[in-house]
Amino acid sequence: MKALVITLLVLGLPLLAGDRFQQVDLFLGAVDTQLTLTPLPVDHRPPENLEPGPGRLTVAAYDHLGNLLARQTVNDPRILRGEFFDQNGHIIESHRVVRDRALLQVVLPTDLSIARLDILEPSVFGDALAFSLLQSVPFLPQRMPHERKLGKTETVEVTTLMDNGAYSDRLDLVFISEGYTAEQMSDFVDDVEDAMRDFFAIEPFETFEGFFNVTTIKLVSEESGADHPSDGIFVDTALDATYECAGIDRLICLDDVRAVKLVNTLVHPDADDLVVVLVNDPEYGGSGGMVAVTSTDSSMPETIIHEAGHTLGLLADEYVEPLLCDPAEPEEPNATTFTFIPLVKWAHWFDGPVLTPTPESFGSMPGLYEGGNYCPADMYRPTATSAMRALGEPFYAVNEEVLVRRIYSFASPIDSYRPLKTTLLVTEPKMTFSVTPMPGHVMSTIWILNDTLVGSGDIYELLTSDLAPGTNYLRAETVDATPKVRLDPEALLEDAVTWKLIVE
Q: What is the pLDDT of residues 4-16, one digit of tens each?
A: 443 333 334 455 5
- Say whether pLDDT at 424 is over 90: yes
SS3 call for 64: coil
376 in the Ramachandran plot: left (φ > 0), alpha (ψ -120 to 50) or beta? alpha
Contact present, 415 and 494 (Cβ < 8 Å) = no
Average pLDDT over residues 402-415: 94
Buried (b) or exposed (e) across 225-243, using 16+ Cβ within 10 A?
bbbbeeeeeebebbbbbbb
- Say whether pLDDT at 147 is over 90: no
Pairing of strands 444-449, 452-456: antiparallel
DSSP string, 343-398: G-TTGGG--S---SSPPGGGTTS-S-EEEETBEEEEEEESSS--TTTBTT---HHH
**For residue 260, which amino acid is it?**
V
| Res 153: pLDDT | 45
Tell me the C-alpha distance between 273 and 67, whole Å: 32
Q: How many CB atoms lie within 10 A of CB 70?
A: 22
| Res 143: pLDDT | 57
Higher local confidence (pLDDT), 257 or 31: 257
337 — pLDDT class (breaks 50, 70, 90): very high
Average pLDDT over residues 43-59: 82
- Say whether pLDDT at 406 is over 50: yes
Residue ranges of alpha helices (H) inside 216-299 are: 256-262
Least confident of 3-7, 16-20, 261-265, 466-470: 3-7
Q: What is the pLDDT of residues 90-129, one digit of tens each?
A: 999 999 999 988 999 998 888 778 999 999 998 776 667 7
Distances 319 to 251, 264, 379 between C-alpha atoms, Å: 19, 34, 11
| Res 48: pLDDT | 77
- Say whether pLDDT at 353 is over 50: yes
| Res 4: pLDDT | 40
How does the average pLDDT of the chain come out, rounded? 90
- Say whether pLDDT at 321 is over 90: yes
Where in the chain is CATH 2.60.40.10? 412-503
Q: What is the pLDDT of residues 155-182, one digit of tens each?
A: 799 999 999 999 988 999 999 999 999 9
87 in the Ramachandran plot: left (φ > 0), alpha (ψ -120 to 50) or beta? alpha
- Say whether pLDDT at 269 is over 60: yes
408 — pLDDT class (breaks 50, 70, 90): very high
Give the side-chain half-sphere CA count within 13 A for 14.
Answer: 12
| Res 31: pLDDT | 67
Higher local confidence (pLDDT), 360 or 35: 360
19 — pLDDT class (breaks 50, 70, 90): low
Contact present, 63 and 114 (Cβ < 8 Å) = yes
Which strand ranges, in their side-by-side order, compose the sheet holding 142-143?
102-109, 21-28, 36-39, 142-143
Tell me the C-alpha distance between 320 and 353, whole Å: 26
Tell me the C-alpha distance between 338 and 380, whole Å: 8
| Res 49: pLDDT | 76
Tell me the C-alpha distance between 138 and 140, whole Å: 6
**Domain range 156-311, CATH architecture:** 3-Layer(aba) Sandwich (3.40)
SS3 call for 85: strand
Average pLDDT over residues 409-421: 94
Q: Which one is the CATH code of 412-503: 3.30.70.1380, 2.30.38.10, 2.60.40.10, 3.40.1190.20?
A: 2.60.40.10
DSSP string, 462-492: EEGGGSPSEEEEEEEEEE---TT-S--TT-T
Least confident of 24-33, 212-221, 239-248: 24-33
Average pLDDT over residues 429-453: 93
Which are the contacts of 351, defined by CB distance < 8 A and separation ≥ 6? none
The secondary structure element, H or E, covering residue 53 is none
Least confident of 13-22, 171-180, 415-424: 13-22
Tell me the C-alpha distance between 185 and 163, whole Å: 21
Distances 270 to 122, 256, 267 between C-alpha atoms, Å: 26, 17, 8
Phi, psi of 149 (to 5 degrees): -105, 120
The secondary structure element, H or E, covering residue 137 is strand 128-138
Where in the chain is CATH 3.40.390.10? 156-311
| Res 488: pLDDT | 96
What count of residues does the chain have? 504
Tell me the C-alpha distance between 66 and 235, whole Å: 49
Tell me the C-alpha distance between 199 and 390, whole Å: 15
Of 330, 337, 329, 346, which is closest to residue 405 (Cα–Cα)? Answer: 346
DSSP 267: I
Distance, CA of 193 to chain centre? 22
Contact present, 424 and 473 (Cβ < 8 Å) = no
**For residue 410, which amino acid is it?**
F
